[in-house]
């Protein structure tokens, strides 16, 4: 299992659960820590080179990927009129483009294997936009649209795509 954003919250609990179930777990984040059961690799999902380097490091430690969970994300709050363009762009860079970067990095591996699963952590806010969290909702909605299109693109390669919407 390769998971981004596993240093806290949903991601941390997910890597712990998979490790308890006996999976080989690689956690990619900016601030995580390796444990006896989880290998941490530094990764900034807003940087193409960082994502590619981290995925390459994972593949030096294993010969396949069964599942990839794109979980890195964060939320900003506030009314649209007081949100700076830079804040909105950062929201999309992590929540949407981070998932895009990870997907681009792992797809050649999964396609070569002829199987695998990509799971995106989204939010119910993708469908039910939250006032004062419009850019979080928009970034998760964009993530869902990408995931649904991707599922059709890669089905023939034995790759399955899912979206979790807590």
Active site residues: 7, 122, 136, 140
- What 3-state class would DSSP assign to 12? helix
Please state the three-class secondary structure of 92-145 as a single string: HHHHHHHHHHHHHHHHHHHHHHCCEEEEEECCHHHCCCCCCCHHHHHHHHHHHH
- What 3-state class would DSSP assign to 87? helix
Which residues have CB under 8 Å from 52's CB, separation 6+?
Answer: 105
Beta strands in 16-85 (DSSP E): 25-29, 38-42, 67-70
| Residue 63 burial class via C-beta count within 10 angstroms: exposed 0-12, middle 13-18, buried 19 and up | exposed
Q: Pick from 95, 117, 96: which is nearest to 106 by CA?
A: 117
């Amino acid at each position: 299992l390769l998971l981004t954003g596993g240093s806290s919250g949903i991601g941390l609990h997910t890597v712990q659960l998979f490790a308890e179930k006996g999976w080989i777990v690689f956690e990619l984040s900016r601030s995580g820590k390796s444990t006896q059961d989880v290998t941490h690799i530094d990764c900034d999902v807003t940087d193409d080179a960082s994502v590619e380097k981290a995925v390459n490091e994972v593949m030096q430690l294993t010969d396949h990927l069964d599942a990839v969970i794109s979980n890195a994300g964060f939320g900003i709050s506030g009314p649209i009129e007081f949100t700076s363009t830079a804040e909105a762009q950062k929201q999309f860079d992590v929540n949407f483009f981070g998932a895009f970067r990870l997907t681009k990095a792992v797809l050649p591996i999964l396609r070569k294997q002829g199987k695998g699963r990509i799971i995106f952590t989204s939010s119910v806010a993708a469908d039910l936009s939250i006032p004062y969290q419009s850019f979080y909702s928009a970034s998760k909605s964009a993530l869902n649209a990408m995931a649904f299109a991707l599922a059709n693109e890669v089905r023939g390669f034995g790759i399955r795509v899912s979206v979790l919407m807590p």
